[in-house]
Amino acid sequence: MAFPVILIPSSGRVVNATRPGLYSDTESPVDTSMSGELSPFLATYLFFNFLISHLNQLKNLVLSNNHLSGPVRINLFNNLTSLSQLRLSSNRLSGPIPSSIGKMVLLTNFDLHDNNFSGRIPETIGGLKNLVYFDLSENQIAGNIPESIGRLRSLQLFRLSENKLTGKIPPSIGNLGKIRNLVLENNRLSGKLPATIGHLINLNGIYFSNNQFTGKIPPSFGNLKNLQSLDLSRNKLNGPIPRQLVKLQMLQDLDLSFNLLKLKTIPDWFKKLRLFRLLLANTGLKGDLPDWFASSSISTLDLSSNFLTGKLPSWIGNMTNLSFLNLSNNGFHSSIPDEFKSLVLLEDVDLHKNKFSGTLKTIFLKTSENIARGHYRSIDLSYNMFRGHIDGNIGDEPVMEFIETLILSHNPLKGRIPKSIGKLSYLQALELVDNGLSGEIPMELGNAKALRTVLLSENSLSGEIPKEVLNLEYLEKFNVSENRLSGKIPPHKAVIPGSAFAGNPGLCGAPLSPCKH
């Protein structure tokens, strides 16, 4: 009897089709539940035994999102040579990938991601000449990528991210003429990037971040005319960036951050690209922002952790596509220009660790495009030289309605904490450390029900700690140390160390010393 399809949905129940042609690959025919008395390991062992013994004509095997555990039988794939689809993702399977995988020559879809498979990728993988989709990401696979992958000439997706792979990418990767996405991020791969990747003209995405690649970016990458995303961040690549990349007119996303590029300046030919995302954090940039940014289509710009200086130019208001701006950890010095208010799509802004000065008013008065876009999600202006009061109406500004993170710490501000912050119902983190703030902690902060982090230390705050704030439902981090607070610390459920209340001689009660009266 032939079994063309077996599907086990996330319920953990076996679905089998005993009549060829009766059901499609995605339909669910007859249910027979696995015994709840069996351990996941034993159930897995018995089930794979059943497969080995009976299902030599199986076409599709889908066991994703279950609780299967333990190693896969070494001889499992000897009899499953008719399979075209094998999907065991999001389980707890372990052990090595059996070398018998190479016998499954009809396989087109091979997906074992999100398991605990270990060992090496078998050299026999090269026998899967019909393979289109290959995903071993989020496992414990080690060793080299085998040279034999160059024989997978039908492959379109190759994903090995989140493993422990080492060694070089084999030059044979250049034989994968139909490949569209190469995903090798978060491994321990090293050596130079093979120039043969430049042969893969159908590539849409290269994702090699967080490895140990060295050398230069191959000029042959300029041949990848269909490339839309190039992520080589967090490696050890050095410059210069090859000018041949100017030919990548389909490129939208370029991330070269945290490499040893020593750029000094952004190459002028970058303005000929049509980038939406440009990330060059910690690449050695110096000097001013290039003025061609004013006419670009950039939506995400990250130039953090460089040596940029000068003023934030007024033409930044022309970058109306900006939704994410990170200029943190540089040497900018100026006030925020009024034109900043024109960034109607901006949602995330990080300017911390610079020398910005002036007031905060321009930041909070920014307009938004409409009710759905351009509202702040996160603001980090810490470690600058902003002065003055925090606007008392900050919580009433339309652009602040959906803010989740507000960090203003380590600026020479003054005045009180605005009560209107309590109206920010999406706010999860409020950090106002070392801001010269005075007055009481407003009980209205307790109305910001989503708050998880409240850091108010190193100010001149006085009065009692409001019980409404200390008993926020999701509170995880709270610190009011080094202030002038007094009275009994309200009873609270969150686990907060005594150090979070230290430096307030007038405070008493758990976790500090008991109150005398």
User: Cis bond leading into 511, ω under 30°?
Assistant: yes
Is 81 within 8 Å of 56 (Cβ atoms)?
A: yes
Which residues 6+ apart lie within 8 Å of 315 measured at CB? 291, 293, 294, 339
Smallest Cα–Cα separation from 438: which of 467, 409, 461?
461
Residue 131 burial (10 A CB sphere; 0-12, 13-18, 19+) = buried
Which amino acid, 284?
G
One pLDDT digit (tens) per residue for the chain, 517 residues: 333 444 444 433 333 332 232 223 333 322 333 334 456 666 665 666 665 555 667 788 888 888 888 887 766 677 778 889 989 999 999 999 988 888 889 999 999 999 999 999 999 999 999 999 999 999 999 999 999 999 999 999 999 999 999 999 999 999 999 999 999 999 999 999 999 999 999 999 999 999 999 999 999 999 999 999 999 999 999 989 999 999 999 999 999 999 999 999 999 999 999 999 999 999 999 999 999 999 999 999 999 999 999 999 999 999 999 999 999 999 999 999 999 999 999 999 999 999 999 999 999 988 887 677 899 999 999 999 999 999 999 999 999 999 999 999 999 999 999 999 999 999 999 999 999 999 999 999 999 999 999 999 999 999 999 999 999 999 999 999 999 999 999 999 999 999 999 999 999 999 999 998 6
**Helix, strand, or coil here: 310?**
strand
**Strands of 438-440's sheet, edge to edge?**
438-440, 460-463, 484-488, 506-508
pLDDT at 3: 39
Which amino acid, 200?
L
Q: What is the dihedral angle through the alpha carbons of 70, 75, 77, 79, rounded to the nearest 10 degrees?
A: -130
Residue 39 burial (10 A CB sphere; 0-12, 13-18, 19+) = exposed
Number of Cβ within 10 Å of residue 390's Cβ equals 25
Is 359 within 8 Å of 388 (Cβ atoms)?
A: yes
pLDDT at 369: 74
Q: What's the longest Cα–Cα distance across the chain?
A: 84
Output the CA angle 445-451-452, nearest 5 degrees: 135
Output the CA angle 64-122-50, nearest 5 degrees: 45
